[in-house]
Amino acid sequence: MPESIKPSNLATVAIIYAGGTIGMMPTDKGLAPAGNMAERLEVALAALPDERQSVLPQYNLITLTPLIDSSNAQPENWYQLAQLLWQLHDQYQGFVLLHGTDTLAYTASALSFLTQGFLKPIVVTGSQYPLEADGSDALNNVEGALLSAQQQVLQEVVVAFGGKLLRGNRCTKVSTYSHQAFSSPNAEALGYWQEGGLVVNKSQLLNTDQKGTGYLTTLRLNHLAYKECQIAVVKLHPGLPIMQLSALFSAPIQAVVLETFGSGNAPDQNKQLMQYLSDANQAGLVIVNLSQCAEGSVSMSYATGSALADCGIISAYDMTCEAAITKLHWLLQVCSTSNEIKKAFADIYCGEFHVS
């Protein structure tokens, strides 16, 4: 639950502080989430040149309690954040979410599905280093996020990090230390900022038909209780034993993201494996074919890939693993059968994949 705040009639942006490295301070056990973020942000932003401060929107800061170390983030946190965003929807023109980087891409992906039809900027950011640390990337990311949150042309979930705006469900964390922590390997950046100047690549923004209501938006999450979902991620490797799959695929697992070789290939000569996957599909398990490669798409054009399609496994095209997992979570909430999930998974809702 967020701490109570005193709304300002002048504020156009809400900053939701969920935790993460950006707000951490040293403790006896290492860096840990810390409070007083409103005052700390005010001090940090005051260090910007006057001309850069002048173009930033006024904001209210909302602090979640308790704060979340993103390594401890759970799927129910995605739904709590989405509910909060919907509750605040009519009060602000845009939103910034300060979040830890470890699971930032999961949260951004999940929110893209849970806020379909929101039609306002939701900008997720954080930092590799704490706000007050020497050489920190935090202030630059916050500045970029605030600039982005007042851009009404941005009607989707975006990640603002390292000078780039990326679609929330198309990015993944690629570095543990670099200020360029996130990449969008299969989609162009939506924009860039530098020293207070923001450029939005309008040609890359969502089309009108990708801003629709979706299954969940009509409920605005107010009447939907989060149901725990059981999803496994399995990475194929040479010599993967069937016994291992048996343990991973057994109940209560409802869906599996199967990370395959190349453009969606699997060892089709392993008849025992193919039969096992086919049987699992027939039993109602939803299995998604996702390439282990960061760039490129599942095509199933090779015989080794088409064999998976013959087993009833569905393509994730060029989705990130984070997007595939969170999309499955969302569909497991709103779909009644595995066949319904498979059909829905193949549709594009908010730019999460591209079909070449």
Residue 101 labeled ligand binder: yes
Phi, psi of 177 (to 5 degrees): -135, -30
CB 209 within 8 A of CB 319: no
**Whole-angstrom distance, CA of residue 160 vs CA of residue 44:** 18
List the strands of the sheet with 286-291, edge to edge.
Answer: 231-235, 255-260, 286-291, 314-315
**Whole-angstrom distance, CA of residue 122 vs CA of residue 113:** 12
Residue 65 labeled ligand binder: no
Concerning whether 101 is annotated as a catalytic residue, the answer is yes
CB 32 within 8 A of CB 125: no
Concerning whether 337 is annotated as a catalytic residue, the answer is no
Place of tokens 């992906």: 109
Catalytic pick among 63, 101, 217, 320 = 101
Among 161, 206, 163, residue whose Cα is nearest residue 187: 206
Residue 71 labeled ligand binder: no
Compute the half-sphere exposure of residue 249: CA atoms within 13 Å on the CB side of its CA. 24
Catalytic pick among 21, 103, 107, 304 = 21
| Cα dihedral 238, 264, 303, 250 in deg (nearest 10) | 60
Q: Which residues pair with 232 in a beta bridge?
A: 256
Q: Which residues are annotated as a binding site for substrate?
A: 70, 101-102
Positions annotated as catalytic residues are 21, 101
Q: Which residues are annotated as a binding site?
A: 70, 101-102
